[in-house]
Amino acid sequence: MELLQTLLATLVALGVLVTIHEWGHFWVARRCGVKVLRFSVGFGKPLWLRRGRDGTEYAVAAIPLGGYVRMLDEREGEVPPALKDQAFNNKPVLQRIAIVAAGPVVNLAFAVLAYWFLFMSGISVVVPVVGGVTPGSPAAGAGVDSGYEVLEVDGHPVRSWNEVNLRLASRVGESGRVELLLGEPARGLAHSYQVPISNWYVDLERQSPLSALGLEPWQPDFPARIGQLLPDGAAMRDGLQSGDRVLSVDGEPIDSWMHLVEKVQAAPGRALALVVEREGREQALTLTPGQRENAAGEVQGYIGAGVAPVNVPESMQRTLSYGPVEALTNGVHKTGQMIGLTLDSIGKMIAGVISVKNLSGPITIAKVAGTSAASGLESFISFLAYLSISLGVLNLLPIPMLDGGHLLYYMVELVRGRPVSEQVQMLGLRIGMALLFSLMALAIINDIVRLF
């Protein structure tokens, strides 16, 4: 069932984003008088094909990892004299620029609308109150106190842990000071902290910028009750069931979920004697945790079980909801922030500040799509918005084969007054193909490594 949900969520996500991207090209091409031969969602052999009254073929193809709009073009085949004025290559350069740019621009516009919808309907978030500070961390060194709400990061107001993380993510790889403003708004209390960072490295595969700085979000008291179980995890293998409450480990009473986590992490590969409460009865089990490395390279125990959810007090929740105009303004701002963060991350990856291990491919996208869909409509729409921004920004990069590569050629043509030579374009195409296929292979390898 979980696999089916992941597949459906992935198909919906890719289908929606690819369709609107190609629709952008299609819509502007038609407005510029270009004859469109085929509008396809997906590559390869068409699973569904229909010819419209306008003569355009509309197709859904077998490989759902993209799509294309095929336009009449003298560079790709013979064009009858009567249709030469409808060929893409015969249109003015400004019209060609508009057609090529339309796909990524529509992706970014979709993100704005998605965030507008979320801000209109209301986003539920947990108030960013610091629950603890990791000893020896940059935040601990700056004297940051727990129990207070994070109000600002580097002078920017924040209202949720997601906003705190995004602000901190923009500082990865930098040196200087992160300015945090913490306090209790209801009492008018606020205190500023200067957290020093030096070439701040964050292993984004294993930790968030928040935890790397040493801030631990407030959490409600979680009893040691088992929630979701991984099919191949030690917990399911050794007989634990969803709903079990762990009472003791090796004879020591367990008073919270984190207490259980500490016991498990300290016992990689070692059998533990558990007493659990199941349907009102106590039951003895033997649990042998698996092993995996943490961010510091230390081997820890791991059982493949999640904590059962608990209710968050209303005082620790807030809803971000706005009227139509303010929601649109916030949607534009959020999209701009995510565009900036995406470009910043690409630049830092090229500079070596962020590891290329953070590149993700279709497997990771599918996993995140499934997880976000399972978390509800709000989470799934947020995922769609972020993925749409990534698609739009990446397509605008000046790499041949991508929309941005074509835009680069047309910009050069606009300045020089004549097209870039076929030889240069073919050389760029080969370089672009090699670069894209290498990045795609690296992303898929990263996906496979994450699976195991």
Active site positions, annotated: 22
CB 429 within 8 A of CB 401: yes
| Cα separation values, 153 from 165, 422, 451, Å | 9, 50, 34
Which position has the token pair 């400004």?
94
Residue 333 CB contacts under 8 Å (≥ 6 apart), including other chains: none
- Cα-atom radius of gyration of the chain, to the nearest Å? 26
Residue 251 burial (CB < 10 Å; 0-12/13-18/19+)?
Answer: exposed
- Distance, in Å, from the CA atom of 398 to the CA atom of 412, rounded to the nearest integer, reads 12
Residue 85 neighbours by CB distance under 10 Å? 13
The residue type of 346 is I
Residue 83 neighbours by CB distance under 10 Å? 12
Q: What is the DSSP string of 317-377?
A: EEEE---HHHHHHHHHHHHHHHHHHHHHHHHHHHTTSS-GGG---HHHHHHHHHHHHHH-H
- Distance, in Å, from the CA atom of 415 to the CA atom of 403, rounded to the nearest integer, reads 19
Q: Could you give the 3-state DSSP secondary structure of residue 448? A: helix
| Cα separation values, 393 from 173, 343, 380, Å | 21, 8, 20
Which position has the token pair 């516009």?
109
In angstroms, how far is CA 102 from the centroid of its own chain? 23
Q: Which helix (H) or strand (E) holds 176?
A: strand 176-184
- Distance, in Å, from the CA atom of 172 to the CA atom of 198, rounded to the nearest integer, reads 10
CB 167 within 8 A of CB 208: no
Query: 227 phi and psi, to 5 degrees?
Result: -105, -110
Give the E-state strand segments of 204-325 in sequence order: 215-217, 226-229, 245-249, 252-253, 272-278, 281-287, 290-293, 299-302, 305-307, 317-320
| Token pair for 139 | 């935040």
CB 24 within 8 A of CB 90: no
